[in-house]
Amino acid sequence: MVNPRDLDPSESPRSFYGAELRRLREARGLSQDALGELLFHSGAYIGYLESAARKPQKELSERLDAVLGTDGHFKRLYALVARSRHAPYFAQAAELEAMADTICEYAPALVPGLLQTADYARAVIRAALPFAAEADVDVSVAARLERARVLDGPTAPQLWVILHEAVIRTPVGGPVVMAGQLRHVVEVARAGKALVQVLPFAAGAHAMMPGSVFLMTFPDAPPAAYVEALHSGQLLDDPGVVARCQRSYDLARAAAMSPEASLHLLESAAEDHTHADSD
């Protein structure tokens, strides 16, 4: 976890929030534990906020203003932190993935956002929002592609993805777009940026049938899980719930094809989509 004293306040609104929290807490002569007690949180949680490892919440910001006597300062800062190009229910998960040490995702219907091409992302967004202005779709596509930059560089998380076979058989955006998308997934995997497995139709019933999951671990913070439904999502940080999600993911991983066999299937499926376009 980043030392709060090394945090660059100009890096992001959340970093500025954390730096301000540390500055004003210390100005009141309070330790992280002491402030945590006043807010009914642990001192460790205050530390996560100060190091920008956790996103502040509106209610907590209001309590901070009351406890520290800051006249709405943290409520106003929260408004800056809450702004995001992502859907409101996914914004916090999107911020956390940039700090994650490992990411494990099960995708039952769509190629995960971190692996999407621009054409595939546009097809997905346009299908979900058929009446959206083109400029708004452009912004959403750009935000999705920006997320993928987390896979570049020495601090990239270890990404493990399980795709249900339904994902690779559905021609999102048409055969050409789908073929390009599958080849992109193979390229990312071959480059060592992700480990990809396919859970085949033949696997039958499996532990992840109830839905998708996005699991994240951090170098110096508790793990978290994100689950998503139609136009909604929830970030889970209860240790017991996250552990159960991880066990279900591990069971699905055990039922999936090997990574090498999965890439061969992805390449074969890409060829099938290409041939479908020429028929």
* pLDDT tens profile 108-162: 999 999 999 999 999 999 999 999 899 989 988 988 898 898 898 788 999 999 9
Q: Which of 72-86, 122-136, 146-160, 247-261 has the highest mean pLDDT?
A: 247-261
CATH number at residue 69: 1.10.260.40
Residues 157 and 271 in one domain: yes
Residue-number span of the structural domain to which 22 is assigned: 4-82
The total number of structural domains that make up the chain: 2
Q: Which of 92-101, 109-118, 213-222, 225-234 has the highest mean pLDDT?
A: 109-118
Residues 77 and 122 in one domain: no
Residues 240 and 273 in one domain: yes
Of 65, 82, 99, which residue constitutes the final position of a domain?
Answer: 82
Residues 173 and 264 in one domain: yes
Of 82, 104, 121, which residue constitutes the final position of a domain?
Answer: 82
CATH number at residue 254: 3.30.870
Q: Which of these ranges, 15-19, 27-31, 67-71, 191-195, has the smallest mean pLDDT?
A: 15-19
pTM above 0.75, yes or no: no
Q: Residue range 240-256: average pLDDT?
A: 96
Of 58, 82, 106, which residue constitutes the final position of a domain?
Answer: 82
- Look up tokens 């690779």; give the residue: 168
